[in-house]
Amino acid sequence: MSVNGSIFREYIGSKPDPEIDGFPEHIINKQITKFDFILGYATDEYVEKKGQGKFRANWDVRTFSVKSIEKLKAKYPNVKVVISIGGAHSDFAFNPQDKEIWTDMAKGSLKDILLKQYKSSECECTNKSAIDGIDIHYDYIQTTEDDFVHCIGKVVDYLKSHIDGLVVSISPSKPVLSHYERLYLANTHRFHLVNYQYYHEIVKSREAFENLHKNLIDTFTVQKVLAGFSTDQNFKDNIPLEVFLEACDHLLKTASLAGIFVSEAQDSIVYHPSDFYVEKKSQQLLTGSDD
């Protein structure tokens, strides 16, 4: 099977420094079929490191408001906005105090974010959010695979049944890959995209990158896997940018890559050799243009 790579996603909002004054519209390539901004993160409340299922928006809700989202999407029809659930820090590990209580609380608190805090102002219907999707993004998981599958599966199923048109993605990385594989295989029809964090691994050549990608699409399918690059300096030695871009270019030319994502905008502002360099180069690869 093959795929026409046409998706670009950008994480934004989880780091306060340097400040971002709204969505960086100048990085949006209008030739991209699907461009998603992913707000990070909707984070849980913890008591003695145990999650309670009480989620709140951890990004600046004044900067990334309903009004700003709807204005952005009206201007750029190819853009959608997604919220990411979980977190990239060990302080926000998946570790429910009680899996059934957590699941019930998570359903309610996430629904409130989507349908109260981000209720669409352009539609009178009760099930329409200004947010287009959710992204399951736990870099740390401290429970069994069975509990992860049970809790996340129930929450995703509930939100999809209560919110119109919700697109759902997962964001695995190597340390927790087995949890996400089990989650995906139990819910293949519920997950539209897989943002794999390639930057968590040491990948020094195009061949190594492509071998990793082949293993991933064997599980998650070629239509769903997006290749991820991080502009965070903590990951700079894992995958050289030239290797990432060369590998993505080759995978796109062989119809083996659905898209690319970058994490994240706050780091990309100060990325060398220029701000948002990776975002711009990645979209050029996806569109086959120099724009």
Q: Average pLDDT of 58-66?
A: 95
Question: What integer pLDDT is reported at residue 165 of this predicted model?
Answer: 94
Q: In this structure, what DSSP letter does residue 10 have?
A: E
The answer to whether 86 touches 43, Cβ cutoff 8 Å, is yes
The structure tokens listed for 277 are: 């360099």
**Where exactly are the structural domains of the chain?**
7-287
β-pair type (56-57, 34-43): antiparallel
pTM of structure: 0.97
* Residue 43 token pair: 């984070």
pLDDT tens-digit profile of 69-123? 999 999 999 999 999 999 999 999 999 999 999 999 999 999 999 999 999 988 8
pLDDT surpassing 80 at residue 290: no
Q: Does domain 7-287 have CATH number 3.30.465.10?
A: no
Q: State CA 216 to chain mean position distance.
A: 17
**pLDDT tens, residue by residue, 231-280:** 999 999 999 999 999 999 999 999 999 999 999 999 999 999 999 999 99
Helices (H), the chain: 66-75, 99-112, 145-162, 177-186, 206-220, 241-253, 265-268, 277-287
Identify the three-state secondary structure at position 248.
helix
Report the first-to-last Cα separation within the chain, whole angstroms: 29
Concatenating the DSSP letter of every residue in 138-180 gives ES-B-S-HHHHHHHHHHHHHHHHHHSTT-EEEE---GGGHHHH
Pairwise CA distance, residues 91 & 45, whole Å? 10
Handedness of CA 128, 131, 137, 143 (dihedral sign): negative
Give the per-residue pLDDT at 18: 67
Residue 125 is predicted with a pLDDT of: 81
Sign (positive or negative) of CA dihedral 72, 73, 76, 81 = positive
Find the helix packing angle between 277-287 and 241-253, rounded to 10°: 20
**Does residue 17 have a pLDDT over 90?**
no
Q: pLDDT for 196-229, tens place per residue? A: 999 999 999 999 999 999 999 999 999 999 999 9
SS3 266: helix
